[in-house]
Structure 1
């Protein structure tokens, strides 16, 4: 009987040891299996999970607009008074709902090319009003004319046409007109070969962005979704030196296994440059642990604050010899039109930039730009506040907008079940096996030793 008991205790200890060893081995093996599966499924080619979501995003993406309604247009026009604005919004449109087109795989260099169709559908339920709401704003055509045509004789002719068309520095237009275009009465009289349609985002609907050529990750998973060329080029021809380079992805996704120390680089055709985000915090988004990467103030800093930005500085008056910051002149990529961008309400901009305007309230929590990225699989779960302002040469405010793409409940549940849930389950199994095995081994060995000691007496 003593032998049977000892054999049972030894057997229990052996089983515990086996479970512990199996749990320990499963940890690196399980990690390797996860890594192998992710590397296979994030490749941008037919049949993978990533490709299906990449062709047409399953996340609803909204573009929200806030319009700065000028409250004292007559005072500003007559007396050059400080401009007073009142923010109204949001007015929401659904975007990025169209699938990528002209998708072509190139096995020679492991790339895939495509164009992204543009489209915007107004969402009344997520808006404070309708597309027919009117706003008093800067007259884009009148403000841009002297900037585009600098010859004094031509400007004299243009001034007479401005008066003839009964146009002025400010105008009242509907939201739909301001964003997507309207026939301008002043430009209709201009004899030069120029488009008579004006709009902050004109043309947009029924256009495409691209051609993009990105790495599909088949040869090197760390390069998946990174842009190789945009419109056939690796540079933009807008800026000097390295500022002109096209870096990173298009911000819709990033290579997998994102670490906190990584700088996420991405290119935006809207702002005509590459930009970057750095780790800010860990966030739980609908049960999914994500890393929140934030656009730093340094991205729009002056060369005095951030020497790396020297090649974004232009000779425009707005730069004050490159000492002002927080605003970027992108006129060169907008056919020479006087267009500037900044974060909303001139967040992170120098005080002299917002000084002529009353009614701005920059707030870090509301107006910063951030990306929420699931670190293991590379999925972008939230994209918020790619916010820009369209400005005239004298920095008269028109609008700001936000791209917001938050993962839906159904998509979040699917992601938890297929990705984070399975990773957590595997981790739990590993810990249970290891824990139970160690406890069993120790308990049975102690019992065995105690039994031997008792029998020895």
Structure 2
């Protein structure tokens, strides 16, 4: 009897377990089904609101055209209202009597674009003050780097094609230069390369920042170039040799070795001829090769090129502000290579990392703004200021240019005293000594043809023809987005 009862008890427990499993499966199925319904409803609302915001942006652009053209239109006969999105839902909000009613229902958007542009009013205080308009408030919220956001994809993969034109100065009288005569140069190029940029290894942080690296790749564009860089040659100063002579100033065993090496290598001259491709992207230099054999720590790589190692590589890890809660900080660099300040220059202001990476700026750019950007190639931050309105492929833009003060020496612009290295060692205006951030190589940066530089620099070389149209550095910026 006891065994029979135990058997019945076990059977009942099994049936109870089966019922429990069945009930749990039904509950889980119901939860998943309801969750999918909720996600579909939520997605529908989000898509609807996103469409509405995009239509509002288009309408704002039409309103701005009307405002700039000093024209106005009659108002629709309807109660003034404006649609906004809030917490993934669409609702009406009364804000000002000059805003027309957009639609009677959320889903009824067919006639949205039939209304004329909005009338001008005090909601735009002046032509440069956009922030008082609710439209701009909505756009500010969109201009934020966030996971799965619309702006993020364009930030990661810029949709604009970028091309880099290389021009090389060929020294046509190297022997005469050795005799003390003035150099004569001839400009070769352009050698055009399609530049591919992207941002990878993206990581978001809780303090409204995002880190990324920006690898760049260059692909030669034969159709828009003047020649083949692998075949055309150019005569330039022997930069590896000049670099070695600079290192010899340190004295000691390195000075003795370098002088001995130069005396034994009779084929090494002050000027050398290479193909354009070698000069840009690198070649094995015989002098650096010999130095590398004995001092691999000082010279780990015997190759040299103006852009050697930069094709397919990146210039470090950037930490950007996402623009959340402050659209003016959108894409601003907070740190580069883990540092908030540089260490190459001799003043705190010159070592500051300011602005963006130059690829994109905050929305609603004003004409009276000074836009800062950091360029690792220049080893410093710089800035641009408004110059004039432009039309680029039918789009109204603001042209910002690099003012002359950016590269003036300390005599003309005391704020640039920190770029004199060592302190007090200042070069003529228009030159930036970047040897401190180029492993001691005696390299200087300037505008093409010494544009806006000290006139003496231009007079000392025959063949330079600086002019604003060809050699000015500028950015054409669409001010709204």
Report the TM-score when normalising by structure 1: 0.74
1:248 equivalent in alignment to 2:248: no
Quote the offset at 1:40 in angstroms.
2.8
Query: After superposition, what is the alpha-carbon deviation per residue over 1:58-92, rounded to whole angstroms, capped at 9, x for unaligned?
Result: 11111111000010111212x12211110011001
430, 443, 458: which one aligns with 1:326:
430
Verify: 1:211 aligned to 2:317, yes or no.
yes
Larger Rg: 2
Partner of 1:374: 478
Which of these residues, 187, 190, 194, is aligned with residue 94 of structure 1?
194
For the pair 1:192 / 2:287, whether they are aligned, the reply is no
Equivalent residue for 1:106? 205
Cα deviation digits, residues 294-327 of structure 1 (max 9, x gap): 10011011222212111112249xx8x5362110
RMSD of Structure 2 on Structure 1 (CA)? 2.2
Question: Partners of 1:152 and 1:143 in 2: how far apart?
Answer: 18
Q: Decide which of 338, 358, 363 is 1:232's aligned counterpart.
A: 338
Match of 2:99 in 1: 25
Contact 2:247/2:255, CA 8 A, preserved across alignment: no
Q: 1:120 aligns with which of 215, 218, 221?
A: 218
Map residues 35-434 of structure 1 onto 2, 5 A cutoff. 35-77=136-178, 79-95=179-195, 97-107=196-206, 109-132=207-230, 133-150=232-249, 151=251, 154-155=254-255, 157-165=257-265, 166-190=267-291, 191-193=294-296, 194=299, 195-239=301-345, 240-315=347-422, 322=426, 324-377=428-481
- Provide Cα deviations, 1:171-190, integer angstroms capped at 9, x if missing partner: 11011110111000111122
Q: TM-score, normalised by structure 2?
A: 0.70
The offset of 1:208, in angstroms, is 1.5
Find the aligned partners of 2:426 and 2:302 in 1 and give their Cα distance. 34
Mapped contact 2:218–2:312 kept (Cα < 8 A): no
1:116-150 alpha-carbon deviations (Å, 9 max, x no partner):
11211111112111121111111111121111221
Instruction: Name structure 2 gaps, 5 residues minimum.
Output: 1-73, 81-96, 101-117, 125-129
Uncovered stretches (5+) of structure 1, i.e. residues with no partner: 1-15, 378-457
Structure with more relative contact order (C-alpha pairs < 8 Å, separation 6 or more) = 1
Post-superposition Cα deviations, 1:371-412, rounded to whole Å, max 9, x if no partner, equal: 1111111xxxxxxxxxxxxxxxxxxxxxxxxxxxxxxxxxxx
More helix by share: 1
Cα distance between partner residues in 2 of 1:310 and 1:323: 11
Provide the secondary structure at the position in 2 that maps to 1:366: helix
Number of residue pairs matched? 356
Change (3 A) 1:25 1:270: same
